[in-house]
Chain A
Amino acid sequence: MIKSQRLDHGFVEEILAEPGGEHLLTCWSCGTCAATCLVRRYEPAFNPRLVLRRAGLGMREAVLSSAEVWQCSACDACYPRCPKQIHISDVMKAIRNIAIREGYERPGAAARVDTESCIACGLCAAACPYEAIHIEEVASNGTGKLAAQVDANLCMGCGICNSVCLSSSISVEGISDQVVSQDIAALRRQPARGALAIVCNWCLHATTDWDVAQNPPPGVRVVNVPCSGRVTPTFLTTALMQGYDAVLVVGCKTDECHYKHGNALEQGRAEVVGSLLDLLGLEPERVQFAWIGALDRGRFPALLDKLAADANALAPVHWGDTPGYRGEVPAYPSAATAPRGEG
C-alpha cells in the first residue's frame, strides 16, 4: 500500500526544477507512451506512464531505485504521439540525474574498452548517440596514455561504438564482433546454402512480425542485433564468404531508430557496401537493406520471402572469378554442390 506519509513532495519539486523535468505533472496517464514503447518486449515491467505517475506522486525511493528509469533509450517514439507533448525521455533523464547525484548506478552491462589496444582515434566517441564516451588520459603499463572511457550511466549498450572501432578495442558484452560473427557462422554450420537476415531488435513492432523473426521461413536464418548500426560491412562480406547466397540487413525507418541515429550510420554503409559489391563484380541483390517503421505491419514476412527467393535464384559466388577479389579463395563451402535452403 502506498501511504501518503511516505510520499515526498520535495522529490516532485526536485524533478520539476531539473532541466527536462518541467513537464512531469502535465501527464494525465493516457498510456499512449506505454503502448508505443517496445522496451516492454525485453523488460516486461517497463512502463513509462507508471514511471511518470510514481514520480508525480513523490515515490522517491521506488522511482530512483527502479531499473526502469535507466531503460528508456531516448528513441522518442512516444514524444510525437504524446497528446500533452511531454518529452518523456527528458523527464527520465532528469530523474536519472537525480539518481546519479544520490549515488544510484545504471544496472546492466555497458561498453568496455581494452585500453591497451585502444588507439584513442575518437571514432567511437563521435559515433556514440549518448555522448557516453570520452577520450581521456588513463594509466597503462605504469605510464599514461590516451584511451576511450565509457560513462556507464549513459551507455545504452547499442554497440555502435564497436561497429566503428578500428582496433576492436571497445565492445558490449554479448554483441562483440566475435560473438556476432560466431552467431552468423554457427547458423551456417549445417551444410546448406541459404540466406541470412540481420535484424535489429526494435524495427519489428507487430508481434506477428517478431514471431516470424524467431521462426523464419525455410532457407532463411535470422541473427538479431540491438541496432542496424551495429552491423559492420565485415559481417556482410564474411557471411557471403561463408556461403550465404544473400544477406539482408533490417533496421528502423529513418527517424525511428531506437538509438537515436544508429540506422543513419547503417544507411551510409549501405551505399559503401553497394559500391563494394560492384567492385567485386557481385550482384547488387546479394546484400540488401530494408528500413521498417512501426506502422509497417506485415512487411517483414514479405521481405524474408523475397530474400529466400532471391537467394534461390542467385548462383553461388565463385570467389576465384570475381574481378575485384584479391584474397584467398575460401575453401568452405563447396558452394556448387551444397544442397539449398534447409533452414
Chain B
Amino acid sequence: MVDAARHPKVEVLAYSEVERVDGYIGNFRVDVTKKPRYVLEDRCNGCGECAQACPIEVPNGFELDIAPRKAIDVPHGQAVPLIYAIDMDNCIHCYKCVSACGKLDAIDFSQEPETLDLDVGSIVVATGFESFDPTVIPEYGYGVYPNVITAMELERLANSAGPTVGRLVRPSDGAAPKSVAMIQCVGSRDARYNEYCSGFCCMYTIKNALLLKQMNHDMDITIFYMDIRTPAKGYEEFYNRAREMGIRFVQGRPSQITEDPVTHNLYIEAEDQALGEVIELEAEVVSLSSAAIPRLDSEALASTLTLSRSPGGFYMEYHPKLRPVDSPTDGVFLAGAVQGPKDIPASVAQGSAAASRAARVLLSDSWEIEPIVARVWADRCVSAQGRKCGVCANACPYGAITVVQGQPAQITQAKCHGCGGCVAECPHDAISQDHFTDAQIVAQLQELLKDKPEEKILAFMCHWCSYGGADNAGTSHFEYPSTSRGIRVMCSARMDQDFILEAFRRGAGMVLVSGCHPQDCHYISGQQVAAKRFDRIPRALERMGINPERFRVEWISAAEGEKYARVITEMDDKLATLDKETLREETAKARPEIARRLKRWATVPGMAEMLEEEEVLA
C-alpha cells in the first residue's frame, strides 16, 4: 500500500465515497465525495501530537472496540496515507489539537466535503468483506458470556501491536487463560446463516493456535471442526505442524456453550465423531471463527456499478471458470474477497489479475463487443411521441438504456450485452436485436412448425444454459423423443410472449421456454425478467381456450443434459395423452384472437414478407 501511495501514477483517495458511476468501458465518469478530515493533507506529517492532546476517547473500531482511540486519530498505525482526521460526531471543539499541531497548522475546522469528477477507463472493485456477527447464534453465547470472543478479537488480543501488546487476556477478569477452545464454521456452512464455506478460517485458526502455543507452550488448545480444509500449497504441512505441537483437534460441531456463572469458565459440548461420544470441554476462553460475509453496503455499491451478486451476496464474476476477475459490466473488475471469501495469496493473485485486466482496457484504442446489440426504431418508440414509457430501461440489466420523455429511448451500445430483454418487453415492437430480430425468430418458428405442428414440441432455449443442457443431452447420449424442435436465443429474456402465441397460432402441440437457473443467469437479471413474463402466460392461454398444460417453463443449466432429456420426454408423454383433434380445435378457436394481438407485426420491418397470406395482415 505504501508503494502504491508513493507511485507517481497512483492517486489514493482514502476517506472518500463513490457516489455515482456513469458511462461505459474506457469512458467511465465517476463522482467521488471526499469527506472532510478537518486536517490538511499537504501539511499533516502524521506525528500524532494532536491525538496525544485530544481529551476525548471513543471505542476503537480497528481494535474491535477493545481499546480506545481519540476523536482525532488515524484508523490504525499502518494507515496509508498517514493523515489524521477528526471524528466530528465526538469532537467537543476544545481545539487542543490545534495548539498541539503548532507551527504545522494542519488543522482546519472549516473543511467541507469535496466532490471530484473523475474520467476513468476501468474500475477495480476491491472493497473487501465483513465478519459475521455471532450474536445471532444463541447457543454460542457471544455477547452474553464475556469470555466468548471472535477470532478477530483474539487476533487483536494476540497481536503485539494490539491493545494488550500481545498478551492474551480473559475479558472477564484480565487473567491469562490456560485453556482456549476454537470453534470453526461459525455462521458459515450453516443453512441458517450462510451456506458457503468461508474458506480461509481453517488456516487462520491454525495460525492463531500456533501463535498462542508459541507464546505459552503449556496452553491447552482445542479446535472443534467439521472438516479442516487446507488445499493450497504448504497448508497441509502447516496443519501437520499444529497437530505435532500438541494442539487438540476434535471433529465435531459444538452444540452449545454454557458458562459457569461463578468462574466464567466455558463448557463446550460436542460429539467427538471419532468416538461417537459427547465430550464436555472446559475452557477459559472460546474463540469463534466467524464467517466472512459481504460488506453491508455491497448492495448499494452493486447498484452504483451495475454488478450482480451470487447467492451468498458476494459479487458475481462474469464466468466462474473462464473470466473469474471480470464483472458482468465491461471495464469493471473484481479483486479479493468482494468476489468471495479468500485468503491473502488468493487475494493478491486476483488483485494482480484485475490490475492487468484493467490495464488492457487502458492500453486499447478501441474495444470489441458482441455484434448482437439492441437498436431502437425511433419512429415506433412512444417515448419519442411524448408518451410516458421506459419499459425497456427497466428491463435492461446493464443500465444501457436511457429514456427521456419526448425522445426515443437511447441505447449505449458499448454497455449492451445482447440479452434481448428490452426487445421482448417493448410493448410497441420498437426495439430490435441484431441477429435475433423478430423476423428471424418467426422465420425459424414458421419453418419448424410447417408439417404436423400438433405433434411437435417447440423449445425455446437460452444460449448459455438450456441450449448447453440440450447439447449436453446429445453429447452424453441421453435419449429423448425426436418430436422437439429448438430455437436458440441469447437469454430467456428474449423469449417474447408473442413468439409463444405465434407458435400456438401455428398449431404447435407443446411449447417449452427454458433458461438458466436464477442465480446462473448470464445477463444478471434476464432470467428474472423472463420468469415474471412467463408467470402470466398460462392464464392468458387459458383465456384464449388453449390448454395451459401445453406450455411449460423450465430452468436447465448447461450441465443438466439429463434434465433436458427428462423434460422433453415428459412433455412428449403429455402430448401423447392429448387428443390431436382437440388440439386442432383449440388452435382454430384461438387463432383469431392471437392474430388480432399480433396485428402490430404488420408494420415491423422485415415482418410483412413473412406474414404474407396470413390473417395477421388481413
Contacts and interface: CB of A to CB of B under 8 A. Distances in A.
Interface residues of B, number: 28
A159 to B, nearest CB: 27
A40 B253 contact: no
Contact of B226 (A30, A50, A296, A299): A30
B252 A83 contact: no
A35 B261 contact: no
Nearest to B141: A295
Contacts of A33: 255
B52 interface: no
Contacts of A83: 185, 189-192, 253
A147 B226 CA distance: 51
Contact of B254 (A35, A40, A47, A294): A35
Contact of A295 (B138, B260, B262, B271): B138
A295 B258 contact: yes
B222 to A, nearest CB: 14
Interface string B275-291: 01010100000000000
Interface in B185-200: 185, 189-192
B267 interface: yes
B261 A31 contact: no
A164 B255 CA distance: 35
Contacts of A207: 280
Interface residues of A, number: 29
Contacts of A32: 253-255, 270-271
B256 interface: yes
Given A35-B252, A83-B190, A84-B191, A295 B139 contact: yes
A82 B185 CA distance: 13
A81 B255 contact: yes
B255 to A, nearest CB: 4
Best-surrounded residue of B138, B189, B190, B255 (most CB of chain A within 10 A): B255
B273 interface: yes
B226 to A, nearest CB: 5
Contact of A28 (B139, B226, B259, B272): B226
Contacts of A298: 259-262
Interface string A52-91: 0000000000000000000000000010011111000000
A80 to B, nearest CB: 8
Contact of B259 (A81, A294, A297): A297
Contact of B273 (A29, A84, A294, A297): A29
A269 interface: no
A34 interface: yes
A297 B139 contact: no
Nearest to B227: A28
A243 to B, nearest CB: 33
B253 A295 contact: no
Nearest to A50: B276
B192 A85 contact: yes
B190 A49 contact: no
Given A50-B276, A295-B139, A31 B271 contact: yes
A35 B257 CA distance: 11
A138 interface: no
A47 B261 contact: no
A34 B139 contact: no
Contacts of A29: 273
Contacts, number: 80
B258 A34 contact: no
A85 B252 contact: no
Contacts of B267: 206, 297
B269 interface: yes
Given A47-B276, A295-B138, A295-B139, A35 B192 contact: no
B226 A35 contact: no
Contacts of A297: 258-261, 267
B144 to A, nearest CB: 8
B256 A295 contact: yes
Nearest to A28: B226
Contacts of B280: 207
A29 B270 CA distance: 12
Interface in A261-309: 294-299, 302
B192 A31 contact: no
Nearest to B272: A31
Contact of B258 (A30, A36, A206): A206
Contacts of A84: 191
B419 to A, nearest CB: 34
B258 A31 contact: no
B189 to A, nearest CB: 6
A205 interface: yes
A298 B263 CA distance: 11
Contact of A31 (B138, B191, B253, B260): B253
Contacts of B278: 34-35, 40
Contacts of A36: 255-256, 269
A303 to B, nearest CB: 12
A35 B270 contact: yes
A313 B272 CA distance: 47
Interface in B314-367: none
Contacts of A49: 271, 273
Interface in A8-67: 28-36, 40, 47, 49-50
B256 A81 contact: yes
A35 B259 contact: no
B185 A31 contact: no
A35 B141 contact: no
Given A40-B278, A81-B139, A31 B270 contact: yes
A31 B278 CA distance: 9
A50 B271 CA distance: 11
Nearest to B139: A81
A49 B271 CA distance: 10
A81 B252 CA distance: 13
Interface string B482-496: 000000000000000
A81 B253 CA distance: 10
Contacts of A296: 258
Nearest to A49: B271
Nearest to B190: A83
Contacts of B271: 31-32, 34-35, 47, 49
B269 A35 contact: yes
B428 to A, nearest CB: 47
A47 B139 CA distance: 20
Given A49-B271, A83-B185, 14 more contacts: A28-B226, A31-B270, A32-B254, A35-B270, A35-B271, A40-B278, A85-B191, A206-B258, A294-B258, A295-B139, A296-B258, A297-B261, A298-B261, A302-B261
29 contacts: A30-B226, A30-B252, A31-B253, A31-B255, A31-B270, A31-B271, A32-B255, A32-B271, A33-B255, A34-B278, A35-B252, A35-B255, A35-B269, A35-B270, A36-B255, A36-B256, A40-B278, A47-B276, A81-B139, A81-B256, A205-B258, A206-B258, A207-B280, A295-B138, A295-B139, A295-B141, A298-B262, A299-B261, A302-B261
Top 3 closest A-B pairs, CB basis? A31-B271, A35-B255, A297-B258
Interface of B: 138-139, 141, 185, 189-192, 226, 252-256, 258-262, 267, 269-273, 276, 278, 280
